[in-house]
Chains A and B, each alone.
Chain A
Amino acid sequence: MSSAAVSLLTIVFIVVIGAAIGLLAGVHRKMDLEQWTVGGRGFGVVLVFLLMAGEVYTTFAFLGASGWAYSRGGPALYVLAYLTLAYVVSFFILPQIWEVGRKHGMQTVSDFFGVLYGNKYLAGLVCAIGIVCIIPYVQLQLTGVGIIVSIASFDGIGRTPAMAIAVLLLVAFVFASGVRAVAWVSIVKDALMVFAALAIGIGIPLIHFGGIRPMFAALAHARPAHMTMPGATANLGHAWFISTVLLTSLGFYMWPHAFAATFTARSADTLRRNAVIMPLYTLTLVFIFFAGFAAVLLVPGLANGDLAMLTVVRGSFPPWFLGLVGGAGALTAMVPASILILTAATLFAKNLYRPVFAPAMTDAQVGKLARLMVIVLGVISLYLAIYSSTTIVSLLLTGYAGVTQFFPGVVLGLYWKRVTTAAVFGGMTAGVIAVAFLMLSHRDPLFGLSAGFLALCLNFLVTVFGSLLTPALRRDSWTRPLATER
């Protein structure tokens, strides 16, 4: 059998197993909206860990972290810092978000704003920002599947068919089993990913340099400036590092899918324990960095850094291992893509369509519409991924800066009684406009600081001063239950 056939069969085998587990995850369970979106709020430490870990190891971490280590060097280290600190932040807000969520039956970040601020337009704004930020993120995952499968199959499967098959499978398992599918497919995906990361991170330096120590010694000799900040970039220095780490660690759980994962937990204690464990999982990413740094010396001069790690793997390991990495990589894109699509579909049906167009809809009808939206969003993302330009990464960073604008409203809403609806509305709008302006006009970074961070500061200022200038919310509107909005 040829190398390409071995590799291809391995990929197909892994993806089919993953999809089958996803399809079976919801069997024997009545899939109402609550079960579909937040797993009936019954996930213990293990399933919550799998779900949240499943959301961390996306194509961006897998190809992006190694790609950044390869093409930018030192600044890539921000990934290790921000993921760890995101869990630190989560320890202090997720248990409280969960508490409020259980009290009011919340399933989305938009529900949270609707209840806390008693305003369906604010909830609608959150919903719209959420969906707009999610779509490029899904698109990026699909592009990742295309790259991974085409390289790992020695171009046996083209990018477009690979992406189309991936969308078909992930729509099927999300449609059938909802968030439960995502958690269960993560078992296969993360087990393979950790194995692949360790094998690649230890194997590549060992094969080509005789170990990690000689590899870094060679790199320090050949390219000393590459390993510290700003590395191979002109303007990603220490101020950029601090502002970006703050922006992304505060914003991490503001992604609507990460926010919604909170509500799957069985208890607030589950989330605290999860926050203690999760940083250690970041250690597996260190091995991805080893591979990215090794690629600097092994395959210099690639135009697209995202291809660096897989190119080295293809030249260093047997075809079955390449297939394993390809299969794991494909699932690594499909799992986050599926939770993202599920979240966007729920947001659309529950927080935008029902309140605005059809207030009389029942939960069962919302569930049906959300499932229909899974198909629609799958097709839209596929279309965008096939006809995408090269600006995906900049779109994604804009998305990160966009969702982080929820942070002041969430934290002040939980901990500061004086905060007002109008001020949060104003702060969020100012933040999003600043993000859109600075990023789309290529002013990021600005004065050496992350543009999204500057927008977040503006948002905080407007929200705090706006709250002090507007009359305080009356007590009853704080605890207004979601039911009265319907």
Chain B
Amino acid sequence: MDVKKPSASAVLLGLIPFAGMCFSVSFWDRIDPMLFGMPFNLFWLICWIVLSSSCLWAAYKLETARDKRDARTR
């Protein structure tokens, strides 16, 4: 099936949230320091929800720019 693969830089941006929310769990699964009244692990995840959305936004910009370039050269 010929589908357009995501660009390598977009995929890299997509791996950042996995590093932040999943593989690094041992580093942030603690109660202290409590921030904004929340245990550290909960606060960390909330931050990464926003950061993940930002990473995807950047990947979106990359992909749409590439689509435009491809449309012009075709």
Contact = CB atoms under 8 A, between A and B. Distances in A.
Given A74-B29, A216-B39, A227-B39, A96 B4 contact: yes
Contacts of A245: 21-22
A91 B56 contact: yes
Interface string A301-337: 0000000000000000000000000000000000000
A80 B49 contact: yes
A68 B29 CA distance: 17
Contacts of B31: 220, 224, 227-228
A217 interface: yes
Nearest to B48: A84
B38 to A, nearest CB: 6
Q: How large is the interface on B (under 10, 10 to 19, 20 to 34, 35 or more residues)?
A: 35 or more
A88 B52 CA distance: 8
Contacts of B42: 77, 227, 286, 289
Interface in A227-274: 227-229, 238, 241-242, 245-246, 249, 269, 272-273
Nearest to A83: B49
B2 to A, nearest CB: 8
B1 A88 contact: no
Contact of A415 (B5, B26, B37, B56): B5
Contact of A242 (B11, B23, B55): B23
Contacts of B34: 216-217, 220
B26 A238 contact: yes
A277 B56 CA distance: 9
Contact of B22 (A246, A414, A478): A246
Taking chain A's interface residues, is the majority helix, strand, or loop, or is none over half, making it mixed?
Answer: helix
Contact of B29 (A213, A238, A273, A280): A238
Interface residues of A, number: 50
B46 A283 contact: yes
Which of A96, A217, A242, A276 has the most B CB atoms < 10 Å from its CB? Answer: A276
A36 interface: no
A366 B59 CA distance: 40
Given A81-B21, A88-B55, A212 B63 contact: no
Contact of A100 (B1, B10, B59): B1
A176 interface: no
Contacts of A282: 49
B25 interface: yes
B41 A228 contact: yes
Given A213-B36, A220-B34, A238-B25, 16 more contacts: A80-B21, A84-B17, A84-B21, A88-B17, A88-B56, A92-B11, A216-B38, A220-B39, A227-B41, A228-B39, A242-B25, A245-B22, A276-B53, A286-B46, A413-B1, A478-B1
13 contacts: A74-B29, A77-B42, A99-B3, A214-B37, A217-B37, A228-B30, A238-B26, A241-B29, A245-B22, A275-B56, A276-B60, A279-B56, A414-B1
